[in-house]
Structure 1
Amino acid sequence: MQDAARISAEGTVLAFDFGLKRIGVAVGNTFLRQAEPLAIIHATTNDAKFAEVAALIKNWQPVLCVVGLPMHPDGEAHEMTQRCTRFANQLQGRFSLPTVLVDERYTSAVLNGQRGEHIDDDAAALILQQYFDETL
């Protein structure tokens, strides 16, 4: 797995905002460099979550996956940091896709005040947009 570095492949990118209850998903491409919310995975089991992820990967054929990496404000890791890293490793291992981690510390602040059904995919879109803005 790679840190948020430039990936040479051109094409579709899927981003994930991993959570224990939901996974927000966003899509974009390396040409337009614009992220759009795509879906929220509500599956309760790990197998069901990865079945939904597999369907999205089959449909969108991404060249890269991006996963948000939560950290404490001072940059220290916490329990969700480890869980997101594991999720990213599983994405890369199961689907043989390059996967990068992007610091998501401030996405919550940007989305603060938004409530409702679409916050998880909006967070994924912010993570992906941050990747595009910083690396491409």
Structure 2
Amino acid sequence: MLNAPEGTTLAFDFGETRIGVAQGDVRLGISHPLATVTGASNDAKFDAITKLIQEWQPKQLLVGLPTHTDGSEHELTRLSRKFGRRLHGRFGLPIYWADERMSSLYAESLLSEAQVFGKKRKAVLDQVAAQAILQVFFDNGALEYFNGREED
């Protein structure tokens, strides 16, 4: 069996206005929504992320990469990569990237099943999308990535 890192993974669903955050442990293979980060400036957002990293002490970070349905990249893909590089620069933790094309649909489905609608849905949608990104990553072979297939 491949060796998975011990401890928490934090996943991010990056958006220019809101950043969804989820946490989980690869050995358990279960992800949970954690927070939605907002702020008037990048500094305010990174202050909130710093507090989450201090609290959860993750061993690695996962950033969702949005693309068009055909897999081609767009401006938000570039901004997500920039966000991931900033996370690495500030916290020195390994960064992994995950395809997030279906995360919002998955999050909408989960919230509909849980009968979360309106303002309650908007408040948690981004963190549930981050949960989806992390769960799909776990389900699709995270151990392989954690054993040398880190993407750049």
What is the aligned-residue RMSD (CA, Å)? 1.6
Q: Deviations over 1:46-103 (max 9, x none)?
A: 1111111111001100001001100001111000000000000100111000011100
- Number of corresponding residues: 131
Q: C-alpha separation between the residues in 2 aligned to 1:109 and 1:31?
A: 26
Greater share of helix residues, 1 or 2?
2
Q: Counterpart amino acid of 2:100?
A: E
The one-letter amino acid paired with 2:50 is A
User: 3-state DSSP class of the match of 1:71?
Assistant: coil
Tell me the residue number matched to 1:24: 20
CA-CA distance at 1:8 after TM superposition: 4.4
Structure 2 contact 4–26 (Cα < 8 Å) conserved: no
Counterpart residue type for residue 40 of structure 2: T
- Give, in angstroms, the shift of residue 110 of structure 1: 1.9
Q: 2:42 matched to 1:53? A: no
Q: Determine if the alignment matches structure 1 residue 109 to structure 2 residue 115.
A: no
SS at match of 2:24: strand
Mapped partners of 1:22, 1:116: distance in 2: 10
Instruction: Provide the rounded CA distance (Å) in 2 between the counterparts of 1:92 and 1:11.
Output: 17
Post-superposition shift, 1:42? 1.2
What are structure 1's unaligned runs of at least 5 residues? 1-5
Instruction: Provide the identity percentage.
Output: 46
Residue 94 in structure 1 maps to residue 100 in structure 2:
no
**Which AA in structure 2 matches 1:67?**
V
Cα distance between partner residues in 2 of 1:94 and 1:101:
17
Compared CA separation, residues 101 and 116, structure 1 to 2 (3 A): same
2:137 aligned partner: 131
Q: Residue 15 of structure 1 aligns with which residue?
A: 11
Structure with the greater alpha carbon radius of gyration: 2
User: Which ranges in structure 2 are unaligned for 5 or more consecutive residues?
Assistant: 112-120, 144-152
1:69 corresponds to: 65
Query: What is the TM-score when the length of structure 1 is the normalising length?
Result: 0.90
